[in-house]
Amino acid sequence: MFTSILGVRSRIAIFALVFGSFIWTFWYAINSDRDDLPALLTQIIPAGHCACKTSTNFQCASCLDCQSSVIDPSNGEAWDFDYARDGKVESLNEIQCMAAFPGLYEDVERGSKYWLDQGNITSASLDSFGLVHGVTRAMIHNGNLFVVATRSKGEDHRRKMLATLSSIYRALAAAPARSSLPNIEFIFSIEDKADDIAADGHPLWVVARRAVEQSLWLMPDFGLYAWDNIIYDKSNEIGPYDEVVEKALDVELDLPFHQKEPKLVWRGKLSFAPKLRRALLEQSRGHSWGDLKEVNWKVPANYLPMEDHCRYQFIAHAEGRSYSASLKYRQACRSVLVIHKLQYIQHHHYLLIKEGPLQNYVEVERDFSDLPDKMANLLDHPEKAAKIADQNVKTFRERYLTPAAEACYWRALWRGYAAVSSPAELLEIDLKGVRVKRGLRYETFVLRPSSDMLDFRAS
């Protein structure tokens, strides 16, 4: 009997060892940023959201054809958007905004229609969503920005929240007839995915959404204001978006497209989307046109500054946990962007054109199976590639990702949201019967200690 017990215990120990080894191997495969995983491990990585077959296709090529001149009410003369003159003008009026950036407001119109069909947004709609980490509740009232409440899990959250508020304030401060803007109260999230905060079904403003998440409103990415990443407790400054563009312009000043490196470049963390990003590396492996490497922040050898991506003719883009915020930086280059079928939408994605005379990127399958053929075609037709690169610049760097476009989008979002929501109320009656403000002015909020911003409530 003693021998039998020992046998059972041995089998249990062996099973535990094997099972534990499998779990560890599974965890390592998902979270490793190493590029040299055995093929067997790459096959057991679950697809999850990263290899979902659902993708979003936009049909907005006509938007790029309908930019028009308007009459400038200040002088009665014809006006049309000029990048050199107007790209950094954040005070364009509504008529100018609509004429300069057709197609930019597609998601605002979609959101307005959705909530009109749902019966509009009320204070109760906002109250039904509990304030969780990564979420801020704010309002615009009489042309001023107020912070009602905000919660941040740490410094990364706080910086994203503050950059978003600053972006809103910048568009607000530059608005013509600022005091006539609608009074609105809203909630925004700086998390990558709506699933992170159970936002689907609520009228939240987010940086990215899936096509099925109809209740959400898209807002500009906080990185368009500025970004300063924290990696291993150290700041990794990227800076304001227009500064990123200036660096790209400096690189390309004496570097025409045909003199750039005729290779496809990519840098990124594999663990952010293991199945998807490893497929990208696998399909490019062994090809002379490939310069794709994983990034491990503890080993800086593979690191490549954003502006140095512009030295390549081709730049690959792959989504991360949801969207990837690096797309806008890659779109700052006069290069051909090679992008898999996207699952997540950002506010400017409607202007991505995958074919035709206005094509501004090259689309590949989510598993990158057609990447070698697409690259061979581009390399065999350098004039075609140069035209796509030029159209990328014309569409994004010189129009839809300019400070002017960002400000116009914010104000269009406020108007579209106001059309289907109850007006914001700044004052409320407290338990003592005293009228108090529900929010703190943005200008005062930014002066508070960083620690106070992590969990703030105005009243």
Q: What is the pLDDT of residues 286-311, one digit of tens each?
A: 999 999 999 887 777 888 999 999 99
The whole-number pLDDT of residue 295 equals 87
The whole-number pLDDT of residue 66 equals 62
Of 304, 310, 311, residue with least CA distance to 268:
304
Evaluate whether residue 125 is within a structural domain: yes
* Helix residue ranges, H only, 331-402: 371-380, 382-392
Transcribe 53-97 into DSSP letters. Answer: S-------GGGGG----EE-TTTS-EE---HHHHTT-TT--HHHH
What is the domain extent for residue 205? 89-228+405-457
Residue 5 confidence class, pLDDT cut points 50, 70, 90: low
Residue 39 confidence class, pLDDT cut points 50, 70, 90: very low
State the average pLDDT for the chain: 88
Residue 60 confidence class, pLDDT cut points 50, 70, 90: low
**pLDDT at residue 241 is higher than 60:** yes
The whole-number pLDDT of residue 230 equals 65
- Within 10 Å of residue 98's Cβ, how many Cβ atoms? 16
Question: Is 37:278 a contact under the CB 8 Å cutoff?
Answer: yes
Structure tokens at 57: 């296709």
Evaluate whether residue 147 is within a structural domain: yes
Evaluate whether residue 224 is within a structural domain: yes
Q: How many angstroms separate the CA atoms of 231 and 101, rounded?
A: 36
Q: Is 44 exposed, middle or buried (0-12, 13-18, 19+ CB in 10 A)?
A: exposed
State mean pLDDT over 227-237: 70
Evaluate whether residue 28 is within a structural domain: no
The per-residue pLDDT for range 392-422, each reduced to its tens digit, is 999 999 999 999 999 999 999 999 999 999 9
DSSP one-letter code for 237: E
Evaluate whether residue 453 is within a structural domain: yes
**pLDDT at residue 88 is higher than 50:** yes
Residue 51 confidence class, pLDDT cut points 50, 70, 90: very low
Evaluate whether residue 156 is within a structural domain: yes
Q: In sequence order, which residues have a C-beta less than 8 Å from that of residue 441 and are 6 or more positions away?
A: 144, 145, 146
**pLDDT at residue 49 is higher than 50:** no
Q: How many angstroms separate the CA atoms of 401 and 408, rounded?
A: 11
The whole-number pLDDT of residue 30 equals 46
The per-residue pLDDT for range 207-219, each reduced to its tens digit, is 999 999 999 999 9
Evaluate whether residue 252 is within a structural domain: no
Q: In sequence order, which residues have a C-beta less than 8 Å from that of residue 304 and are 6 or more positions away?
A: 265, 267
Count the domains in the chain: 1
Structure tokens at 359: 């094509």
**pLDDT at residue 28 is higher than 50:** no
The per-residue pLDDT for range 183-214, each reduced to its tens digit, is 999 999 999 999 999 888 999 999 999 999 99
Evaluate whether residue 416 is within a structural domain: yes
